[in-house]
Amino acid sequence: MKIVTVVGARPQFVKMGPVSRALAGRHHEVVVHTGQHYSARLSARLWSELGIGAPDHNLRVGSGPHGAQTGLMMQRVEQVLCAERPDLVLVYGDTNSTLAGALAAAKLHVPVAHVEAGLRSFNRDMPEELNRVLTDHCSTLLFTPTKQASANLRSEGIRAGVHHVGDVMYEQARRTLPAAMERFDRLARRLRIAAGDFYLATIHRAENTDRPERLAGIVHALVNLDAPVVVPLHPRTRKMLTLFGLEGRIRSGGMVRLMPPVGYVEMLALEREARMILTDSGGVQKEGYFVGTPVVTLRDETEWPETVIAGWNVVAGTESERIVAAVRQRRDLRPIQDYGGGVAASRLVRVIDRFGKTSQP
């Protein structure tokens, strides 16, 4: 089959890596990058780190309001689909690129396969939640990372085409971790940290960065932790820290080490050697488990409840006292079976193989 893969954000590139390798030699994949994350330097570096080629189409949509961004993506994805005439469109996760790819394909009657289907935070104020729900309801193949995700789909009346394959990010993390560990010593010297004696924090979600009281709560917690805190800082977060007058506060005392965004390999190295991870990222919550580091989630809910049940994740919100208490909380850490043991991509591609045999004339 000819398969068009639509991606646009850094976590989607990571998820795509194992699947693209599994598709190679079996199907013809055409990769479309919407340009939602548009740093050419960071994107090119990530493609190289993941061992995948550059995209076949770069739509260069860039940032903007949700409606305008999603609409422009749909328009440009539709043009590619009309030119490529694929048998299947593959989308990942929950970004505007995901929804645009799925809607453009569905309106052209091209089957959609959604990787990481069925996740729910049950917070419809999050644009990601709307993207997940809408994408799932127009998909033909739904690849779930956990059994809970499959159950979420059943509760919404979606039963056909649902396949629990495991988590493709787990597969990529296992593949990359040995190379990541070779990078840590250099990072440690640069950041003046030691393995197991620092925290790692990431903050990027609009619900946190755009609300001064939430961002201030996170900052207050970080500067009151008992070890250095490494913060690879999203450009938008840096802008909001300055806007809300919090940049001086986060730099006070010298415990917080602000740094530019890092590549995937360096990020895994920092995650693996951190004492604990504090994050509002969905993917980083899982990566903490993948590398064996407990996580505190800086949100009021999570789409990964199995990480909480197994003790690896505490959902703390953004009040500083709750965050600090969550960092100090004792954990009973247990293994998570749902993620598939690092073979999710091959399971997924076998389903696509069967689908191709039954759908082709």
Residue 204 among the catalytic residues: yes
Residue 1 CB partners (closer than 8 Å, separation 6+): 27, 28, 86, 87, 88, 352, 356, 360
8-state DSSP, 318: T
Say if residue 198 is exposed, middle or buried (CB neighbours under 10 Å; 0-12, 13-18, 19+): buried
Residue 338 backbone phi and psi in degrees, to 5: -65, -20
The HSE-up count of residue 72 (CA atoms within 13 Å, CB side) is 15
DSSP conformation class of 238: H
By three-state DSSP, how is residue 203 classified? coil
Residue from 66, 109, 114, 204 carrying the catalytic annotation: 204
Residue 239 to residue 261: CA distance in whole angstroms: 14
d(CA 72, CA 78): 10
Quickly count: other Cβ atoms within 10 Å of residue 65's Cβ: 8
Look at the alpha carbons of 152, 156, 157, 163 in this order and tell me if their dihedral is positive or negative: negative
If one counts every other C-beta atom within 10 angstroms of the C-beta of residue 315, the result is 19
Alpha helices by DSSP H, listed for the chain, are 10-23, 40-50, 66-84, 96-107, 127-137, 147-155, 168-181, 184-191, 206-209, 212-222, 235-243, 247-251, 264-273, 282-291, 305-309, 320-328, 344-359
| Residue type at 145 in one-letter notation | P
Between vectors from CA 65 to CA 62 and to CA 72, what angle results, nearest 5°? 55
User: Active-site positions?
Assistant: 204
